[in-house]
Amino acid sequence: MGKIKSALELAMEKTADLKADKQVVKKNTQIREGRVSASQYMDNPANADLKEKLKSLKGEELEWFKTGAAEAFLANLTLPRIEADVSKLPALSDALGVLTGKKKEIEEMFGQLEQLFTQYLSNLDHLEESLKKQYEPQLRQKELKMRQQTGQSVQLTPEQDPEFLQLLSDQMSRMDQQYNEVLKQAKDQLKQGMI
């Protein structure tokens, strides 16, 4: 009678010939450590782990670590939705300055990004206000129609109207697309200067 093999035994047989590429494992480990250190640095810039790691690594390991850290830092660089989001830029600028050792160049670029983000928020507010003004007559028509149907006076705001919200969302998406293109170019430029 044949022996029934466990799932573990079957898996061990199938993977017996596979060998881990130590170089790939080292690379992935350093990239992951770079991401973790970057995240910890963003949470607490006083934490010297990032700086110590940068000093302790050399060659390929340093490059892999920087790659992971750069990915994590750049993932935090997104279009703001509120003014408080812009206030995160100095910490991110400082972090990238530490990573690259090019503090002055990074600060200059982040000065430009701050202007871009401030302009973006201003344009966002302006877009919403102008759409509300344009949409006002349609809201009044809807109020009149509802008054005729129900006999009750109803006051609608743009935020209550699904058509207005869809229009605003579409316009914001177009504007986001334009600004995200500029932001992508800035991120690409930062990536080129990091490693």
Q: Residue 46 gets which letter from DSSP?
A: T
pTM comes to 0.74
* 191 within 8 A of 74, measured Cβ to Cβ: yes
Domain boundaries of the chain, sorted by first residue: 20-76, 93-195
**Tens digit of each residue's pLDDT (9 = 90 or more) over 142-189:** 889 988 888 888 888 898 889 999 999 999 999 999 999 999 999 998
What's the pLDDT band for 17 if we cut at 50, 70, 90? low
Using alpha carbons only, how large is the chain's radius of gyration in Å?
A: 27
What's the pLDDT band for 3 if we cut at 50, 70, 90? low
**Tens digit of each residue's pLDDT (9 = 90 or more) over 85-117:** 888 898 889 888 888 888 899 999 999 999 999
pLDDT at 176: 95
Q: How far is CA 90 from the centre of its chain?
A: 16
